[in-house]
Structure 1
């Protein structure tokens, strides 16, 4: 065989192999993308947006936000997005193969999938049809659907749909809302620089949002402007004017619609209930009946927008009100439009430490614990201002929010049990949360205002947990009911433990850290919390409830300079004043499984133990305390039952003619001291003294002198007299 034939044969074989590989790859791609179909219902067309109704059945009037149409998009805006995101947008048919090849080379070099090469059409598909997963299969499906989109819609229509769904940070989807939040403008009012700023955000909203960093946002904007100039979309003159334009943001706080915030929460709940996207939701024609109270929502938005309630100008506020009977959210508002997961501080103590400890019969409200600086391994909690109160009880520790006592109580309860109770109330935890710092409200992922309110709702409802709801029921476009809210509860705590916790939180509102609520003419149970980072307060929280409503107010920011007992508690008071302007809530009803028993104060003071008062315990040494029927003190104090005198010593000094009477006294007893010659004569009475008593007596005459000491207790029943102790002395 000649060399020429050999080369030809090798070429044919290689060509066949290549064709087979390509055929195999094509078959594999076809199988992978076989389910990749364009679903027009997923695109933002908004043909039948849901209608929302308040608690009285009246429609909640909000501005409908239909998907953008091509006529809504100014040329400078589309040019900015094309320049930075997809410069061949008007040339390709959904997939830019030149970018794909470049991305493949880049990914092979980096051994990762960091380069996606997605066109604007592909980004539209990813945000409406697919997940954010980074995989070859998803990318192929994205490309296949993008081609179908291009076949069915014009470039202008694709651009309008894309700008309707893309994420701009701050909880904003769609360029219309982004323009309103960042600049307070409609799309047709945007400058070229502002268009470039918006286009620059979407690559990494947390980094390039002007709300987070003016510097990063400006650099990114200038990059977009530079590309616009290079691609001939703006002139040198326009470029120079735009790069020198100051990036000025609007104060969006007053622009947030209270109704829209609540409706947005409803939309999120619907998507969870029926498993749909925003765009599907806007085409279902649902009728949504909610627990919304328009008057109350307006009131809390006004209260939270009152700058006088914040110490720092840039502090944000959030509040929620839940009806205890229906578990429906009557009102919920946040000044920055966001739903954060943040650190709740000491408001977590009642639900992570004290109520679980009561439920596990680990403590009573009257349990005595020493409040002191304590080291637990590598953890040493500090009280506010590093002030410690020594021996105290759980009730006082809750009222004063003593961190040392909370951590000690958690050691009695154990961290795993605390975690289990939190999980039962819908508060998720991580492995790293399994530490004693949980007692102080430190939780890795943080919790939302609503999650905290739902946990306190559990206390208000006697221990049953059930997630609250914005929505009462949902009907389809034909009026057929498709979903109903059920306010069913799962037992977390026993009712008696909740009653004891509520009783302690009532005192916290009267004279503890939440005392700003004490002027309210009805009962409120409350706890405050403060969280800080590097010595700066970032969160100030008040969680509270009456017999009828649960309210959480949360102030937050980078450095708010306030604690939970300040602005957030005052805000809570103002909210309660609005809720109960016409009538007051019913007083709390104590569980029938709670009993009031007298404890012995002397044992509490001297032995640091909770003992029931005995029959002989005087009134001044009795105090009524609350207990669960199944967890009462087992020991009864006998300290007053048998009065005895210890260490009575009588010494006679014949030289000086004096008798010294010595004995050990207890301040709970009184002592009458008698000299007996022919008849008894009282020479002294000792009261309210502890320790050794020394008395001197100068009897007249010589011979035997008898001294008697009579210990006794004075109480409301008269005298309880102990055994008389007699000693004799001889005077020469």
Structure 2
């Protein structure tokens, strides 16, 4: 009986807890949901998260005048917190992305239904229903895959985030993680990238623009689509107004003062060569970069635009007929600052920089080092040499035109680029000496000691050869550089310091080389590069015209040009005195016009045009040695920095009583000083007093309109200035007249 009673009790209990059909269905549904949730969680990507790891810290590249022109790397700013989150930015993002953000628990069913209906009516996906919490889940934990699995994972993580974080924490993390275009991840990075400021100082207009970017950052990024970004910002302001998060007056004020960018646009393709090069130098010089580094470079945007235009026009005009597929140009100041770079015809098609990466034979350009070594060994421009057949072992070099001219001076042989004389000189002074001379002036390439080195059979870069010419102009070893300063917010990471390199040329050798280079352009193979002012330079052409070069300098800049083909195929007889020399002249002549226009525009103030660069040296002049009591004259190279400032050898000379000008006035002064003796007394508190012949140099400058009289100028100099002003000479020329006043 007991056993039967127990069985009856069990039967009753079982019946009591047996679920009905509805309960069983609910239980089964819960088990399925739990199993699905577990399956979704198990399939979460281990390396998930749409936020990309930065391959390298960001850096904004600025031109020499401070104008940004390119950016490189990924920008990551500081994470926002609820305490430092800008109010306008928070309200703008919530208004445009998730107006019911504070009302839902991570999933907005009403928003999902509304988006589904609108997409069905439109026949396409035009609106998303994801909340800010869902978007944060996708950014932090999920991949970019578009599937039902990822959507389910997104919903689960959104619910979990709402349980773990406050609403303000969620929106702060979202703003710190979202992509805002142009390489900027997070609102802090975007504020600095686009507006150069911290997020806390954003205006309403700026906040609205940033909030409008997160939906389609690549499309709306103001660096590539400013008008689209501004229209999108207007849409955000409308959404904020409708949501009651700003007043009509505030919206009207924001529309009246739209956001202004302080950022480079999408880099112009031609500037990419310089930007890539400068980025690498920035990282090398400054080491590990913070997220918001800025580098002030040496790039002169005016010269860069001219360089790109000249190269493209030449290739478009002559490239096909000349069978020339590529060209490169580099311009630098005499202290080595790289002012403009064109590394090839099309940066988008090829990022290979033919200025510093391509190794080509320089041809007759290499004769600079052969003649330089010979001049050091005792030869002179007037030394007599013989153009005749030459044989070195089994090698018999010939001249370009396969003729021989017999006896001539070293100057004539250089200007006509005679091959046989160059070989004779190289063999006479020794190839080792030629190689040492080239390396001393800046050629970094390995140079083989072979007889044909005299004719440039070795390989080097356009950068190395242009640097060597700059060393001749400066009289010391020039080191090219692209970065002046690297900084991050208020701290400096790197500052370029002027080099202290000693002279690499004896003044007499430098003067003789300048004479040869001037003659090459004046009456030799470089005649196509002639300007209205002195030009020193040299042509170079290799066998079968595979490479053609012209490198030269003026009182403003050192410029190197190369043309040829990447596969080293022959051109259609292009020589260095042809297409490269013409391109060189076009670049410098247009740069001169820009510089002159800038000088005229700034008349009445110290001339400092955007295309102005440190002037080149005039031929060597005389200066008494301050360290020698007998004042014996020493031959020293002169550099006209402006009409009141000269660099003579290693000494800086400032004319007392004169406020100097650069530009055309300085060019005229440099021409006037060629071949004249300059004698300067030791400086006093007001500066140097220098004589040219029996005339005071300061009086010469002022009487020809080359500068202004300083406040401390004596009556003689003030009268000279007044005379030039009445005669409208030099800087006092009437508008529309060419600046005159060349000293007598």
Q: TM-score, normalised by structure 2?
A: 0.45
Tell me which protein shows more strand as a share of its residues. 1
